[in-house]
Amino acid sequence: MCGIVGYVGKAKAAPIIIDGLKRLEYRGYDSAGIAVLHQGSFHVAKEVGRVAAVQHTLASSPLEGTRGIGHTRWATHGGVTRENAHPHLSSDGKIALIHNGVIENYAAIKKFLLTKGYTFASETDTEVLCNLVAYHFEKEPAPADGGSRLLDAVRKTLLHVQGTYGICVLGLDCPDELVAARQGSPLILGVGPDELVVASDVAALVSRTQNVVYLKDGELVAISGNTFQITNRDDVGVDPVIDQVTWKVEDSELGDFEHYMLKEIFEQPVALENAMRGRFSADESTANFGGLNLTPNELRGMGRFMFCACGTALHAGMVTEHLIERFARVPVECDHASEFRYRNSPLFTNTLFFVVSQSGETIDTLAAMREAQRKGFKVLAINNVVGSTIAREADGGIYQHVGPEIGVASTKAFTSQLLIGAMLALYLGRMRDMSVRDGTEYVAALKQAPDLVREALEQAPQIEEIAQRYARYEDMLFLGRLELFPIALEGALKLKEISYIHAEAYPAAEMKHGPIALINPECPSVFLVPQNEIFNKVISSMQEIKARGGPIIAITTAGAELPEGLADEVITIPACHEAVLPIVATIPMQLLSYYIAVARGCDVDKPRNLAKSVTVE
Ligand code: M6R
């Protein structure tokens, strides 16, 4: 959470930083600020609200200067106020700092700094960090080897800090320098011909350069003029590996769409094509993955799979659990990454771990992965962001290849995770008892997924009308069974995160064990009711809701015959293979939440209290 950008180059820093921050706003958007070092002073602009508010301020009082730092905040310590917005200046005015993360021992450090005469204008942990850098900068002499005094002060500061950080630091007395460091929060260095840019995400860099260095935990980068040097926490030099970013600036632009969420919903057919491209074997009866780093023999030897993830990504893991158990007949367990890391549950020896994470930076998922690796297990990652921390630390994995997902509500990343889960079930199934014939049929079904999603998207106008009628409700239930129960969970999550309607999801038959008490004419239920072996069971659950006056929206498959008058609204999706059904059934859920949120006047792409990438615990 929080987005940070630092710039050192020949161009004016402020417009570049503002542009970068706008592209990072999905990481946090309650306040923003920028500091530029020019002619021996820091010039700071900070505002509560969006980056646009800072941009507005700068329009009347532009900031000169070719080095600077900027931040878009998701509040942790201290409320949403101008004082708490970053950048922070040390009380002696000599250091400016931006920070993404949480300093856990800030209270003790603050107590110490108060005894040394430092003062505080905000309630943040970041200001404590900033003053501690100032303290070390003042206290320590310049390094004898002629090295950077700012780097030295930052390094000494970080030795005393517990928690997570991605930081950029400027020093008034070192006008040519910028020091950045990371521990637990992402940080990437963009290396342009005449400039260096540091940011939390490549999205903020690609308009300046495609050449990037993904910094690792414990690394510091010291920029001086147009050169940089990376060192690790032991002060040993690190040879930079410069990677090429494949994303283009246009990939993260809104185009003609009103919201990123809607754009990304409609990108799904192409996203699915990209996620499956080149991943079917020549004989078309199984899937292929390049980066698993396990031999077929090793994979076949795994007696159990474990999926850890958070939020939407966890729902993708839960659908994959159904598919792997059904088609490969291997037991699978799913856990909230945040719980797994502290639960210390007993684990079977031949278990293969998967983590699922769009961003690859979710701290709970990363910690769960590290915990499993610490216990000696291999962990594979299903991940979208190339070069993310999870991608780099995993033992192997599968990239989603769906391009940047900007909307805070995950859409195309989710359906591509479902597709990859379905392909994995096929791959593992074909290693065991699935026949060539069933495999061939399965592949043919998966290949239809993009077109089936296109067909489902054609329902958008009808779903928009339904949304108008249901936007006034404050409670909703989402009900599905088997592999569609996680889709019901996802429907409820989508609705609550962007429209702030209270929504819960259950396996449909669970209703009578308690939740049915909620049913009344003011609490609609969204039922996933495809034609399958338990169709009639779900119909019975619907009857129970109808009998109690609960309005019903039914999402069903073409050809299924719902009893006349049972559902108040019927949305029909194409009939399809059960491995593809979760993907197709997701589409109306996404559209319904989107149009309800729009009808309620909610800020769809920047829902309150949320951030896209959750890098704090
Ligand atoms: O980047 P990740 O996939 O690890 O993110 C996990 C969750 O934070 C994320 O899916 C969250 O639930 C989304 N906002 C849901 O739309």
The helix (H) or strand (E) run that includes residue 457 is helix 436-457
CATH for 564 = 3.40.50.10490
Contacts of 598 (CB under 8 A, 6+ apart): 258, 259, 467, 604
Both 405 and 515 in one domain: the answer is no
Total count of domains within the chain: 3
Q: Encoding tokens for residue 423?
A: 């392909």
In a domain, 614, yes or no: no
Q: Which atom of ligand 1 is nearest to the CA of 359?
A: 1
Both 235 and 289 in one domain: the answer is no
In a domain, 442, yes or no: yes
Question: Could you read off the pLDDT of 502-521 as tens digits, one per residue?
Answer: 999 999 999 989 989 999 99
Ligand 1 site residues (CB inside 6 A) read 310-313, 357-359, 362, 365, 408-410, 493, 497, 613-614
Question: Could you read off the pLDDT of 316-357 as tens digits, one per residue?
Answer: 999 999 999 999 999 999 999 999 989 888 889 899 999 999
More confident residue, 207 or 132: 132
Q: Which atom of ligand 1 is nearest to the CA of 494?
A: 16
Q: Which atom of ligand 1 is nearest to the CA of 614?
A: 8
Both 157 and 266 in one domain: the answer is no
Both 372 and 395 in one domain: the answer is yes
User: What confidence category does residue 140 fall into, taking pLDDT thresholds of 50, 70 and 90?
Assistant: confident
Q: What is the reported pLDDT for 184?
A: 86
Which of 185, 264, 310 has the most ligand 1 atoms within 8 A of CB, as the residue to mutate? 310
Final residue of a structural domain among 248, 273, 289: 248
Residue 131 to residue 110: CA distance in whole angstroms? 9
Both 345 and 441 in one domain: the answer is yes
Question: Could you read off the pLDDT of 375-429 as tens digits, one per residue?
Answer: 999 999 999 998 889 999 999 999 999 999 989 999 999 999 999 999 999 999 9
Residue 611 in this model has a pLDDT that exceeds 80: no
Residue 260 in this model has a pLDDT that exceeds 80: yes
In a domain, 616, yes or no: no
> Mean per-residue pLDDT for 27-43?
93
* Domain of 378, in residue numbers: 257-457
More confident residue, 29 or 335: 335
Final residue of a structural domain among 404, 439, 457: 457
Nearest CA to ligand 1 atom 2: 357
Residue 617 in this model has a pLDDT that exceeds 80: no
Question: Of 22, 378, 494, 612, which is the active-site residue?
Answer: 612
In sequence order, what DSSP letters do the residues of 558-593 get, joined into one string? TT--PPTTS-SEEEEE----TTTHHHHHHHHHHHHH
Both 394 and 476 in one domain: the answer is no
Both 294 and 442 in one domain: the answer is yes
Residue 606 in this model has a pLDDT that exceeds 90: no
Question: Could you read off the pLDDT of 92-133 as tens digits, one per residue?
Answer: 999 999 999 999 999 999 999 999 999 999 999 999 999 999
Mean pLDDT, rounded, of the chain: 94
Both 220 and 279 in one domain: the answer is no
Residue 250 in this model has a pLDDT that exceeds 80: no
Q: What is the reported pLDDT for 554?
A: 98
The helix (H) or strand (E) run that includes residue 110 is helix 106-115
> Mean per-residue pLDDT for 545-568?
96
Both 300 and 434 in one domain: the answer is yes
In a domain, 610, yes or no: no
Both 410 and 534 in one domain: the answer is no
> Mean per-residue pLDDT for 554-570?
96
Which of 358, 363, 418, 500 has the most ligand 1 atoms within 8 A of CB, as the residue to mutate? 358
Q: How far apart are the first and last CA of the chain?
A: 10
Q: What is the reported pLDDT for 532?
A: 93
Final residue of a structural domain among 440, 457, 474: 457
Both 390 and 495 in one domain: the answer is no
Q: What is the reported pLDDT for 335?
A: 97
